[in-house]
Amino acid sequence: MNLRKAVLLGVFVAAVVGIAAVAAFGVPLVWAILIAVPAGVLVGVGGLLSGTHDAEWTAPPELPAAAVTLHATFVTERLEQAARDPYRFTARVQPRLRRIAVAALGDLDSAEAKEKLGPDLHRLLTDPHAGLPKPPEFAALMQRLEEQC
């Protein structure tokens, strides 16, 4: 939760507590304010801290067992994992493919790069929501990328 939302939530809770203390319990206004302010501050601070202790549900990156990181079997394993989990594709495979394309073509948003890559390959490299295509289509796209490099 950002600071603005936490402050607004704290002010809202303080107002509700103060109004409830005066209206429902007949507490004097000064005492109602003294009760409401700490309640609002606690809710505001709680709102600020609410996102800091969230659990990290993504799996840690797998370390290679040996110096085989450049072998085709390792790439195949990464693609197999990406096919099962779209996050792995956008977090691991897509940035590496994008770096290859940027090294060969420069800015991927230029008209020349879009024309050379084609719409399917350009979307695969630049769309943050792109998924891993079927193996024959992916092979054709990688062939086109390899021809541009």
User: What phi and psi values does residue 48 have, to the nearest 5 degrees?
Assistant: -65, -40
Whether this prediction's pTM lies above 0.85 is answered by: no
Q: How do the domains of the chain map onto residue ranges?
A: 3-49, 77-148
Task: Inform me whether the pLDDT recorded for 8 exceeds 90.
Answer: yes
Range 8-20 average pLDDT: 95
Ranges assigned E (strand) in the chain? none
* Contact yes or no for 119/133 (Cβ under 8 A): no
